A and B are shown apart, each in its own frame.
Chain A
Amino acid sequence: MSSDRTPFGQCPLPINQVSQVLMGHGSGGKLSAQLIEELIVPAFRNPELELLDDQAIFSLGASRLAFTTDSYVVTPIFFPGGDIGELAVNGTVNDLAMGGAHPLYLSLAFILEEGLPLTDLQRVVESARRAAARAGVRIVTGDTKVVGKGSGDKIFVNTSGIGVVPAGIELSSARIRPGDAILLSGTIGDHGVAILSQREGLQFEGEMLSDTAPLHDLVAAALRACPQIHAMRDPTRGGLAATLVEFASRRHLGIEVEETAIPIRDAVRGACEILGLDPLLVANEGKLVAFVPHEHSERVLAALRSHPLGRDAARIGCVTDSHRGFVILKTPVGGERVLDLPFGEPLPRIC
């Protein structure tokens, strides 16, 4: 493959050939990556941004701060296992935590659609309050805007967050090395399938609950066991596949994953079989992937497993020197295939 390869494999459709924003631009797939890398990053080039981690980390005086922002447009706004308020707090807490930061302060901004019942807003605010209390962060500033009926979809939320990165912690995808073990903190697909089953009115056996949860405490537990962890990422939209493919492609590393080692709840697998979805591509809101120096992997795995949010943690694969730029999935029957991202997303927004 030529050296001028764009990240995420080939660029089949240069951005200037797409004349309007498509749903796929928000999917976490290749279209999202193109939009960011070809339209956003060139406009603002700077070292913090160009790392394209979930948060920017920079020094201010003696401390290192992590700073991040995220918008939430999930529909429905109330779903099994959570709602948009809780999601907005946990999501930003997690983006900070993936940089190893201790989350401190959040902003909370609403764009409300005319006609939204105030009781719905109250519920969302109350659950954001509870989520902030659980995560130990303070919501210190905010904003409210209202748009006319039809110009929004009930409620959009934006949260930004600031945290402090303890000395000696250096988490970034740039530090991933061949030989690293890849650990996953628990089952995948729960959030996306919960949203879908609610949205499509599908009834599945066994309750489908979103896994939305603040991960900073789990991250702290892992870092206590091993401060040398190279990188962490919460595989949200685009699922586990998006995280792995992005790291392999952007950092030009090979990744090998055992499909059977990936924990997936039976109910989620069943729902994915029925809906024709690949659980690897389904969103999570309370899981993390850690890239750990091989010699420390058992210790980190044990630390993850001893935490309530990491009970089902598993080692799912490793970083390799070969087939750089690609994720190779070992299939359950002993075959293998390249794991690649879909261009857009087959279904509407789920986080």
Chain B
Amino acid sequence: MKYIDEYRNSEIAAALVRRISETVTRPWVLMEVCGGQTHSIVRYGIDRMLPQQVELVHGPGCPVCVTSLEMIDRAHAIAQRPDVIFTSFGDMLRVPGSRGDLLTLKGRGADVRVVYSPMDALRIAQENPARKVVFFGIGFETTAPANAMALYQARRLGVKNFSMLASHVLVPPSIAAILQAPGNRVQAFLGPGHVCAVMGWREYESLCEHYRVPIVITGFEPLDILEGILMAVRQLEQGRAEVENQYVRAVSRDGNRAARDLIFEVFEVGDRKWRGVGSIPKSGYRISYEYREYDAEKIFEVDAIDTHEPPQCISGLILRGLKKPCDCPAFARQCTPQTPLGATMVSAEGACAAYYQYGRHLDTDGRAAEDCAASGGR
């Protein structure tokens, strides 16, 4: 298939792996920021093609995973109301809050609907004027423009029965939080390609400078990731710490101006709690004061929410690159995609779920044991 197969070519992949091997002289720890990249790496077995010295750890870039329990419980409380049609991206429905997931709620009769775009949710609101339609607006900077557009259009069209439960998270503050955390192992980042397609990479330049860390904005296809790794390893070996752009076909330094303007028309930056990590200052978007009549958090009174995470879950350590899924004693035992204990298992793009889905827990001729020894031993 055009524009896809070119980025999955096995000969070029082998050549890139060779060049990485020729470049690397000592051990380095790289983190891919995005869940989509993690998924690709495990799906195509990219980490197993790399030389021993290059270790990949998996970042916090799965928005479904890091959406806080409180927010999921709030979604639950709102979706339960008989006057509400609750709309969401599909993968959010299976994320368990303290009182079960939205799919189960749907099974009990709540009107919960999957949409592929927030604009579909707005259309549902227009078609159901007697109901209150709420969209669960989650995601990184990537989904923010589309979510902002839905609110912008709602206001323009005068749709009064539409609102958004917004829980947006931002990449740069999470990178800073990882680098500041005690025991940090990450020496370079594969930056978030699609986030930067919207935001550009200016914000990342100050991170590189301040923390002396290379960041390579990287795409999501196997060859993108291998090339991103090569560029990051080169920087590390040469002692450079710069923003480089591997994903040139999608990303420019300034990003998408129109999309950014729309974001800041509707949202403002605020503190945000990340599941598995905790509160990070100025790490999210919330709906701005001007758009408060569309803010589901303000429209629907939800009682105080008391949540707790299972103590055996190490997703906080995994999200910061300190541990890998198979380092966790609960992984694939008590904790599976059906019975997730925490953040990194709840969505297909979470590191634990990707490891599980692509069989890293299955002992096929001792491979799984090898994986764990590789990560835990280093």
Contact = CB atoms under 8 A, between A and B. Distances in A.
Interface string B213-226: 00000000011001
B52 to A, nearest CB: 16
Interface string A305-327: 00000000000000000110110
A334 B13 contact: yes
A330 to B, nearest CB: 9
Given A332-B44, A337-B44, A1 B339 contact: no
B14 interface: yes
Given A339-B359, A347-B90, A334 B1 contact: no
- What secondary structure prevails in chain A residues at the interface with B? loop
A61 interface: no
A101 B189 CA distance: 58
A233 B360 CA distance: 27
Given A13-B336, A200-B116, A266-B1, A332 B359 contact: no
A333 B46 contact: yes
B357 A340 contact: yes
B10 A333 contact: yes
Nearest to B334: A12
A331 B7 CA distance: 13
B364 A328 contact: yes
Contacts of B357: 340, 342
A20 B44 CA distance: 36
A270 B1 contact: yes
A269 interface: yes
Contacts of A344: 338
Given A12-B339, A13-B339, A269-B4, A332 B362 contact: no
Contacts of B8: 332-333
A338 interface: yes
Contacts of B362: 1, 9, 326, 338, 340
Contacts of B45: 331, 333, 335-337
A116 interface: no
Interface string B86-118: 000011000000000001000100000000100
Contacts of B49: 333-335
Contacts of A168: none
Contacts of A338: 358-360, 362, 364
A323 B13 contact: no
A10 interface: yes
A52 B18 CA distance: 47
Given A12-B338, A13-B338, A269-B1, A334 B359 contact: no
Given A12-B336, A335-B48, A322 B43 contact: no
Contacts of A22: 103, 107
Interface in A242-273: 266, 269-270, 273
Interface in B287-314: none
A337 B45 CA distance: 6
Nearest to B357: A340
A344 B336 CA distance: 13
Interface in B38-54: 42-46, 48-49
Nearest to B93: A346
B228 interface: no
B63 interface: no
A307 to B, nearest CB: 26
Contacts of A326: 359, 362, 364
B271 to A, nearest CB: 30
A341 to B, nearest CB: 9
Given A22-B107, A270-B4, 15 more contacts: A10-B332, A10-B336, A269-B1, A270-B1, A276-B348, A326-B359, A326-B364, A328-B364, A333-B10, A333-B49, A335-B48, A336-B48, A337-B45, A340-B357, A340-B358
Interface of A: 1, 9-10, 12-13, 20, 22-23, 200, 202, 266, 269-270, 273, 276, 322-323, 325-326, 328, 331-340, 342-344, 346-347
26 contacts: A13-B338, A13-B339, A266-B2, A269-B4, A270-B1, A322-B365, A325-B364, A326-B359, A331-B222, A333-B8, A333-B9, A333-B13, A333-B226, A334-B10, A334-B14, A335-B44, A335-B46, A335-B48, A336-B45, A336-B48, A337-B43, A338-B359, A338-B360, A339-B359, A340-B356, A347-B90
Enumerate the 8 nearest inter-chain pairs by beta-carbon distance, A residue then B residue, closest first: A338-B359, A335-B45, A12-B336, A333-B13, A323-B364, A333-B222, A332-B8, A331-B44
